[in-house]
Amino acid sequence: MQAAFRLGLIINPLAGVGGQAALKGSDGVAEQALAQGVLPQAQRRVAIALEQLLPLREQLQIFAAPGPMGSDLLTELGFDHEVIGELGDANQTSAEDTERCAAALQQTGVDLLLFAGGDGTARNICNQIRANQLVLGIPAGVKIHSGVYAVNPRAAGELVALLVKGDLVRLREADVRDIDETAFRQGQVKTRHYGELSVPEEGRFVQQVKQGGREVETLVLDDIAAWLQEEQDEETGWILGPGSTNLGLLEAMGLHGTLLGVDVLRHGELILQDATEQQLWTLLEQGGDWRILVTAIGGQGHILGRGNQQLSPRIVRAVGLDNLMVVATKTKLTTLNGRPFLVDSGDAELDQQLTGLRRVLSGYREEMLYPVSWKAE
């Protein structure tokens, strides 16, 4: 059974109030807009998104910012949730509240941080969120120049629903941009790049016909191998698990790996072939930055514990859970028919920590999200 999807929620309740008041934004002028009788619309727009998730509520574990920044709306809609973080003033939320709650929600290990606001809110999120944290914006502000927002609230909800159901969803890095509101109110449009956030996109693709699959998969492996070659540097080493996919990557790089063994790549060269667990441990004890690249072994979708016991719990922990990467073409992912990747490392605690959505390298600088579990459906 797939683990519950861990969803974080933050709402900027004042997002967009400056629009109806013709203030060209809400940053710093929310009180002025409210004094003109403008009614905030952010809660209504988030409700449209969350309504798409009502049929999936049993599959969700929701963590939300307090009061008007998330919890109040979830209670109204009937979603069970846990309140995370605190507000400086429940009657007057601020950018500092957004940043404080974003940091707290990230600490809970949410699979996706869903937030509502405009470009100012996206900047606040960007200030606190690490690079590999998946986020998605519900457009509720006046200024929506950043690429982290869904096209509308309903689309945001439907995209989250795809993630919850374990459908294939592509990932991309999207710009966080904001406009200078003071200059904008004077008729000048000046945007500035503030950073990037990792966001999901709907993973639409056409499954290849069976007889063409091998040829297409070879081309995809060439693309992934090109990415892997670009990632070679002085600091990072790569531990490649067994399997035809990883062997195909090495062959595409002109290297002779082992089909059933673990190979170690550094500086574009194989420094270990068919390595034992102890050899890997000795190598890791010497320090350095390392990545593990695994693929599904056998017909059951295992990524750990089937044919790659050299990648023991201590090896995985030493490298770091965030540095355990899965490589699989989209064609291979579709053959699992939605079943999760499985982990059977021999360490129940590690298996539980690995459970959830993980990034899967599926093409040249292309990643998908796919569920991992310690138990089969």
| Chain segment 316-363, per-residue pLDDT in tens | 999 999 899 998 888 778 777 778 888 888 788 998 899 888 888 888
Q: By three-state DSSP, how is residue 63 classified?
A: strand
| Chain segment 265-307, per-residue pLDDT in tens | 988 889 999 889 999 999 999 988 999 999 886 556 888 887 7
Of 109, 189, 107, give the one whose Cα is nearest residue 145.
189
Which letter, b or e, does each residue of 111-124 get, where b requires 16 or more Cβ atoms within 10 Å of its Cβ? bbbbbbbbbbbbbb
**102: Cβ contacts below 8 Å, ≥ 6 apart:** 10, 113, 115, 124, 125, 127, 128, 129
Of 106, 145, 151, 140, give the one whose Cα is nearest residue 125.
106
pLDDT at 113: 97
- The CATH number of 5-202 is 3.40.50.10330
| Chain segment 86-132, per-residue pLDDT in tens | 888 767 888 899 999 999 999 999 999 999 988 889 999 999 998 78
Q: What is the pTM of this model?
A: 0.65
Domain ranges of the chain: 5-202, 217-373
Section 217-246 average pLDDT: 81
Between vectors from CA 137 to CA 135 and to CA 140, what angle results, nearest 5°?
160
Of 345, 340, 344, give the one whose Cα is nearest residue 358.
340
Q: By three-state DSSP, how is residue 375 classified?
A: coil
pLDDT at 24: 42
Q: What DSSP assignment string belongs to 247-276?
A: HHHHHHTT----SSS-EEEETTEEEESS--
How far apart (Å, rounded) are the C-alpha atoms in residues 33 and 312?
59
pLDDT at 38: 44
How far apart (Å, rounded) are the C-alpha atoms in residues 107 and 122?
18
